[in-house]
Amino acid sequence: MKAIQVLVCGAAGRMGREVVRAVAAQPDMKLVGAVDVTEGGRDIGELAGAGGGVKVRGDLANALDAAKPEVMVDFTLPGAVMGNLRTAIGRKVACVAGTTGFTQEDLDVVYGLCKAHQTPCLIAPNFAIGAVLMMQFAAEAARHFDAAEIIELHHDQKKDAPSGTSRRTAEMMRRAKDGRLDGLAKDEDSPSRGLGEGKIRIHAVRLPGLVAHQEVIFGGLGETLTIRHDSISRESFMPGVLLAIRKVRALSGLTVGLEKIL
């Protein structure tokens, strides 16, 4: 069976290097390209400790044309990911994006690109299997409670706040069948009350020492329910990333959320 040809964009970053190591360890995958604007010309094996023999390129278009990958994995920055997806989808390369910060307008653009080029793309705010289950459990609980808040905690280098995972969780809770958390949050002027997403408030914490953590707290008559997930290392995201690489080419158009392929 032919190995899946994979290019990693943002390969020199913390998540990118983790993806490089994970892909290089799979017998059914082959790392054929690595792109990063900060480490052009270096062997990715020197940076990631795996995937040796692949030089990091600074230009995505040139890397795609040279490596001819079947799947591009993007873990870059919110300001770069849209351009990267345009470049890759325009060349009919299936995409897996873990970069967060997408707006609805961004998703609409990606949907149009996928349709125009008949090329699939999977965007997931979180690739940890436990985090996906946490979101699904929260959506189920939303059918039974009238009040909930989300606290998300990430490392201090994370660019967006609140996180894509917390926004996705709130969206799933609001859209839950027979859910009770749609509508608007109570009017609050204090910034400390967090961002309102429907009736749900989201609070973001950014501190060194953290990786990715989230708890959803529901309040009811005389009780609370807390659903929490913790990623204590970036390895926790790799099973979901590898699953996405294996399945994305069989998808159609734009898919948002890892739960769609579990």
- Answer yes or no: 55 catalytic: no
| Percentage of the residues of the chain whose pLDDT score is greater than 70 | 99
- pLDDT, position 185: 72
Q: Could you tell me which residue, 99 or 115, shows the higher pLDDT?
A: 115
Instruction: Report the side by side order of strands in the sheet with 223-231.
Output: 195-197, 200-206, 147-154, 212-220, 223-231
The whole-number pLDDT of residue 231 equals 96
| Statement to judge: residues 13 and 119 lie in one domain | yes
Distance, CA of 174 to CA of 150 (rounded, Å):
13
104 and 8 belong to one structural domain: yes
Lowest mean pLDDT among 27-31, 69-73, 124-128, 241-245: 124-128
Same domain, 9 and 117: yes
Question: Same structural domain for residues 114 and 135?
Answer: no
Q: Annotated catalytic, 158?
A: yes
Q: Number of structural domains, the chain?
A: 2
**pLDDT given at position 191:** 80
Mark whether 143 and 218 lie in a shared domain.
yes
189, pLDDT greater than 70: no
Pair 110, 240 in one domain: yes
Averaged pLDDT, 238-245: 98
Residues 110 and 24 in one domain: yes
**Does position 145 have pLDDT exceeding 90, yes or no?**
yes
What's the CATH code of the domain at 164?
3.30.360.10
Q: Residue 35 belongs to a domain with what CATH number?
A: 3.40.50.720
Residue 182 has pLDDT above 70, yes or no: yes
Please give the residue that has the higher pLDDT: either 116 or 79: 116
Q: Residue 203 forms beta bridges with which residues? A: 151
| C-alpha 100, offset from chain centre | 6
Residue 184 belongs to domain spanning: 129-231
Catalytic residue (one of 154, 199, 229, 247): 154
Question: Greater confidence, 222 or 79?
Answer: 222
Q: Are both 69 and 107 inside the same structural domain?
A: yes
Q: Report the pLDDT value the prediction gives residue 149, as an integer from 0 to 100.
A: 97
Q: Which one is catalytic: 30, 55, 158, 203?
A: 158
Query: Each residue of 214-237: pLDDT tens digit?
Result: 999 999 999 999 999 999 999 999
Entry pTM:
0.87
Question: Burial, 188: exposed, middle or buried (Cβ in 10 Å; 0-12, 13-18, 19+)?
Answer: exposed
Same-domain pairing of 8 and 104? yes
